[in-house]
Structure formats: C-alpha cells, structure tokens
C-alpha cells in the first residue's frame, strides 16, 4: 500500500501470540458456557476444541449448523476450528457470519480481528474499535490497533493506543521505536523523548544514543544531548556522533568544542560535504567569515563539483562585502545544480521530467489539445521546452515563450510560470522584462532563491547594478536559513525513518 509504514515482524508476532492466547481462552470460556446451556453435541464440540481436535470439531459442527444456522456461538466455534487449522479464509467467513447474528460477540470479533491483523489488513481496524467499545481496558486490542494504524501511516490514531498498550511494549525495541517515531511525526517531541530513553535502557548502543541525542536537539535540550552522547565521545567517535556533538555544543554556547568536533569529523571523513557546510554556518554565526571560507576552500579542493560548497562560500563572501566573488560562486553553484533552490512543486516536476523529457512533453501537449487554456499545462510545456535547451529564435523557444506568457496571463499568481518566463527573457536578452517577472515571482514567494538569483543576473545587464549588493545579502540570508532548515528536517527524518532490524 502506498504511503504505508510497516512495523517489524518481531513486534507483530509478539502481539499475535498474546492475542492468540487470549482468543483461545475466550473461546474455551464461550464453549463451556454454551455446552452447559445446550445439547451433548455442543459439549462434544467444545471438548474437541479444548483438546485441539479441530477436524473432529468441524465434523461435529456441520450437522449442528444445519440444525441451528442462526446460532452465532456455533459459527464462532467453526471459525476457531478453521483458524487453528490455518484455513483463515473459511475461518473469517465463519466469524463474519457469527457477527451478522451477534455484532457484539467478543470471541468472534477477536477471532476475525486476529486474522485481519495477521494479514496487515485495515479491515481489522473497525473490528478492534468495536472490541474496545465493549472492553475499553483490553491492552492486546489496543496494541493490535496501534500496529494497524501505524501500518496505515495514521500516527494520530495510533499514538493513543500505543500509550494504552505501553505495558505490552515495555521491552519491545521495535514497538518503542514505532511509538516514538509516531510522536515525532506529530511533532510531539517532548513526549517522544522518554520513549526513546526507554529504548536506550533496553538496548544501549551507538545508534540508540544518536537517535535520542537528535531528538533532544530538536527539543532544544542541548545539554541533555551532550550527556547522551558522552559515552560515545571517547577515543574513536564516529562522524555522525561528532556532527551531533558539534550541534549540541553550539546550541549550548560552547563554540570551541563545537568547532573542535566538526574539525575532528572532517579529518575522519573529508569527502562529506555537509561537514564543510556546517563549518561555514558556524563561522558565519560567529562572524569568523574568513575562517569559514578557508574551511570551504579545503572542501572544494577535494570536492570541486559540490554546488552546496559554492553556495556556502558565496554566503560568507557576501558578509565580507566581496560581492563579485559571491556572485561568481552563486553562478557556479547554479551551473552545477540548477534545481538547488527551486520550489518544492518545481522540484517534483523537474524530477519527473528529467527521466523522460520527450515523453513528458508529449503527455503535456496531448493534454493541452483538450485543455488549451490550462495555465499549469502551459507552464509545464514552457518549462520542459526550456529544460530541453530550446535556443532563442527557434520554434521551440517561441512556443515556450508564448506558453509562459499565456500561463501568466491566465493565472498571475502562478509563481513558477513567472520564473520560467524570466529565464526565457534572460536567454533572449530582454533583461528589463526578466527583472519585472522576477520581482513579481518574489512578491508571490519571497523566499524563492531562484527568482532572486535571476533578478541579480538581469540587473547586472541593466543600469540598476546598485541594487545588487543588497540582493546578494538577501540571497545569502535565504540560503543560510534554508540550510539550517534542511539540517533540522534531516534530524526529523533521521528519527522518522529509523526501523531497527533487531
């Protein structure tokens, strides 16, 4: 299922075992009560089930059901017999028949829920919800419902059931991870911390400590993160540990240790681009711009095609008022990675198109025949033609220009269309028109780095060059903020994506 999240089988199996035991007890109890109130045949069926003679129970059930087809208890016992023989299809049919007769039949509900749970089916959710309406304190049903909701990616529904089933998960590391991960997805970071602390108590290893420290950093508790990482910061800390430690030290206002940790990480892994970017951010924060530039220069000697390093150096050079150098670095960064700071929507579009531009163009043109005035389709056509390298003066370039203009006319607030139109104007040498489109794009999306960069490009070729330094400062600030946001998002992703194979 698309978007679903799956819990490790160890947890599912542990809940399954608990549920099987409970279901068996309930059925035996139901059968005993039934046999006391009914015939010797019913007593024989109950006895066969208790002694695990399931085929014999089925033989006895056939005539009994023919005689009493409206007896929900008989259908329940048939469901149990089939399920214990591994015939879940027939078992589920029997349980459902029992529930048609008696919707609140607890043994039938639990039998059906168990089968749906084992298959990871969302059909088990309403069954478990009905059980919990009848038995609100049933921890096993809470646990099963938590797992099924988690598998469906519905953390908001799963979390309350994880909380109520906590005693069952007390030492189950994957379940604790699932619970904590859901809390993180819901941005309930403070509540996730004690759950991760419990995982550390269950399994004290490097990964668990890194995850807990990441969470503590998200919760703005750097001192706690430093304490968590302490045992890992001995003689041979990993690069990941040093990265986390550097962030924790900086947030705790211990800049010297933050710098030292990053320097140690760079020595261990000089190929890791993010380390140099982090060092640049740290240097900028403390106005040690040249120190940061020197570090980025070291990185560029090893990684000369890392666009993010040119961005990082450009940001620092803006702080030193080295605008020509900054602009050259930004241009190099965009040359290496044109999609570096496009909008999320444009990035998604570019990702699709890069796989098959010709196919994407054919698809868009086919849709435009049916909807010739669709502004999004017109924008997409212009964007694809631009990505294909349409040359000024060519029929493709003219089509792209016409489509972009029409998209903007039909939907003035379509920022990406204005961005494409600005790019086309730049390539056509119409710099004043390009600047106008960039300014309008920035009115729609003030943090659009690509529109800001293109505005700088356009102004360089007009009489408005005096505006460029302030725009470079704005671009540098946006880039730095975006990098910090990326780091924060990375920490969330680190926790959310963690699925231990234990």
pLDDT tens by residue, 432-447: 999 999 999 999 888 8
pLDDT computed for residue 490 by the predictor:
60
Of 158, 190, 222, the residue that ends a domain is 190
User: Would the pLDDT of 12 be above 70?
Assistant: no
401 in the same domain as 327: no
Query: Could you give the 3-state DSSP secondary structure of residue 183?
Result: helix
273 in the same domain as 217: yes
17 in the same domain as 145: yes
45 in the same domain as 154: yes
Please tell me which residue, 233 or 495, carries the higher pLDDT value. 233
pLDDT computed for residue 319 by the predictor:
83
* Phi, psi dihedral angles at 389 (to 5 degrees): 90, 35
User: Would the pLDDT of 5 be above 80?
Assistant: no
The pLDDT tens digits for 353-412 are 445 677 778 878 888 898 899 888 898 889 889 888 899 999 999 999 999 999 999 989
Task: Flag whether 213 is in a domain.
Answer: yes
The pLDDT tens digits for 253-281 are 999 999 999 999 999 999 999 999 999 98
Of 285, 315, 336, the residue that ends a domain is 336
Query: Could you give the 3-state DSSP secondary structure of residue 447?
Result: coil
Angle at 489 between CA 343 and CA 303, to 5 degrees: 75
Q: Considering the chain, what percentage of its residues have pLDDT values greater than 70?
A: 85
The pLDDT tens digits for 53-78 are 999 999 999 999 999 999 998 999 99
User: Would the pLDDT of 477 be above 90?
Assistant: no
Task: Flag whether 484 is in a domain.
Answer: no
Query: Could you give the 3-state DSSP secondary structure of residue 492?
Result: helix
Please state, rounded to an integer, the average pLDDT across all residues of the chain.
84
Please tell me which residue, 333 or 338, carries the higher pLDDT value. 333
Q: Alpha-carbon distance 406 to 167, whole Å?
A: 62
Task: Flag whether 464 is in a domain.
Answer: no
The pLDDT tens digits for 220-266 are 999 999 999 999 998 899 999 999 999 999 999 999 999 999 999 99
Q: How many CA atoms lie within 13 A of 144 on its CB side?
A: 36
User: Would the pLDDT of 84 be above 50?
Assistant: yes
351 in the same domain as 307: no
173 in the same domain as 31: yes
pLDDT computed for residue 132 by the predictor:
96
Please tell me which residue, 180 or 463, carries the higher pLDDT value. 180
Q: Which residues contact 446 (CB under 8 A, 6 or more apart)?
A: none
The pLDDT tens digits for 91-132 are 999 999 999 999 999 999 999 999 999 888 999 999 999 999
Query: Could you give the 3-state DSSP secondary structure of residue 229?
Result: helix
pLDDT computed for residue 1 by the predictor:
37
User: Would the pLDDT of 345 be above 90?
Assistant: no
Task: Flag whether 493 is in a domain.
Answer: no
pLDDT computed for residue 447 by the predictor:
85
Q: Which residues contact 379 (CB under 8 A, 6 or more apart)?
A: 403, 404, 407, 414, 416, 417, 420
Task: Flag whether 374 is in a domain.
Answer: yes
Mean pLDDT of 25-47: 60
Q: Which residues contact 462 (CB under 8 A, 6 or more apart)?
A: 431, 432, 435
State the CATH number of the domain containing residue 289. 1.25.40.10
177 in the same domain as 31: yes
Task: Flag whether 502 is in a domain.
Answer: no
Give how many domains the chain has, as a whole number.
3
Task: Flag whether 225 is in a domain.
Answer: yes
307 in the same domain as 186: no
69 in the same domain as 186: yes
Of 280, 301, 336, the residue that ends a domain is 336
Task: Flag whether 34 is in a domain.
Answer: yes
pLDDT bucket at 415, cuts 50 / 70 / 90: confident
359 in the same domain as 312: no
pLDDT bucket at 175, cuts 50 / 70 / 90: confident
Mean pLDDT of 455-466: 87
366 in the same domain as 307: no
Signed CA dihedral, 283, 285, 288, 293: sign only: positive
Domain range for 248: 205-336
**Are the beta carbons of 316 and 296 closer than 8 angstroms?**
yes
User: Would the pLDDT of 18 be above 50?
Assistant: no
147 in the same domain as 14: yes
Long-range CB contact pairs, 202-206, < 8 A, 24+: 202/171, 202/173, 202/176, 203/173, 203/502, 206/232, 206/238, 206/241
């Amino acid at each position: 299922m698309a978007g679903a999240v799956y819990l490790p089988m160890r947890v599912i199996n542990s809940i399954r075992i608990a549920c099987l035991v409970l279901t068996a007890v309930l059925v035996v109890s139901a059968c005993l009560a039934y046999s006391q109130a009914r015939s010797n045949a019913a007593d024989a069926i109950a006895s066969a089930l208790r002694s695990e003679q399931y085929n014999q129970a089925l033989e006895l059930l056939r005539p009994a059901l023919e005689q009493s087809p409206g007896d929900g208890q008989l259908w329940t016992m048939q469901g149990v017999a089939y399920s214990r023989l591994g015939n879940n299809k027939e078992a589920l049919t029997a349980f459902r028949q029992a529930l048609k007769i008696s919707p609140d039949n607890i043994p039938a509900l639990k039998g059906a829920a168990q089968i749906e749970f084992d298959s990871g089916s969302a059909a088990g959710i309403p069954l478990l919800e009905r059980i919990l309406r009848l038995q609100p304190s049933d921890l096993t049903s809470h646990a099963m419902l938590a797992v099924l909701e988690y598998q469906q990616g519905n953390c908001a529904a799963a979390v309350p059931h994880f909380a109520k089933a906590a005693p069952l998960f007390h030492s189950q590391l994957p379940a604790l991870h699932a619970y904590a991960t859901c809390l993180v997805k819901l941005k309930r970071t403070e509540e996730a911390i004690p759950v991760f602390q419990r995982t550390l108590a269950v399994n004290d290893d490097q990964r668990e400590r890194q995850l807990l420290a990441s969470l503590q950093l998200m919760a703005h508790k750097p001192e706690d993160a430093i304490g968590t990482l302490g045992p890992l910061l001995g003689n041979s800390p990993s690069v990941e540990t040093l990265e986390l430690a550097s962030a924790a030290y900086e947030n705790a206002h211990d800049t010297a240790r933050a710098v030292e940790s990053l320097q140690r990480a760079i020595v261990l892994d000089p190929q890791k681009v993010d380390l140099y970017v982090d060092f640049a951010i740290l240097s900028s924060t403390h106005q040690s711009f040249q120190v940061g530039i020197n570090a980025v220069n070291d990185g560029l000697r090893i990684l000369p095609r890392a666009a993010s390093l040119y961005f990082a150096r450009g940001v620092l050079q803006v702080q030193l008022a080295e605008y020509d150098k900054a602009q050259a670095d930004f241009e190099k960064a965009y040359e290496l990675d044109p999609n570096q700071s496009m909008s999320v929507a444009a990035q998604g579009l570019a990702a699709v198109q890069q796989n098959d531009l010709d196919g994407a163009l054919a698809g868009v043109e086919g849709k435009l025949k049916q909807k010739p005035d669709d502004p999004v389709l017109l924008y997409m056509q212009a964007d694809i033609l631009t990505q294909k390298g349409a040359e000024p003066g060519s029929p493709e370039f003219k089509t792209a220009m016409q489509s972009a203009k029409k998209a903007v006319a039909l939907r003035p607030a379509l920022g990406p269309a204005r961005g494409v139109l600005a790019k086309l104007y730049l390539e056509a040498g119409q710099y004043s028109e390009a600047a106008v489109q960039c300014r309008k794009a920035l009115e729609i999306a003030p943090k659009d780095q690509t529109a800001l960069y293109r505005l700088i490009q356009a102004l360089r070729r007009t009489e408005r060059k005096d505006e460029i330094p302030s725009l470079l400062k704005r671009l540098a600030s946006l880039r730095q903020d975006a990098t910090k946001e990326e780091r924060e998002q990375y920490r969330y992703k680190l926790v959310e994506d963690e699925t231990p194979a234990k």
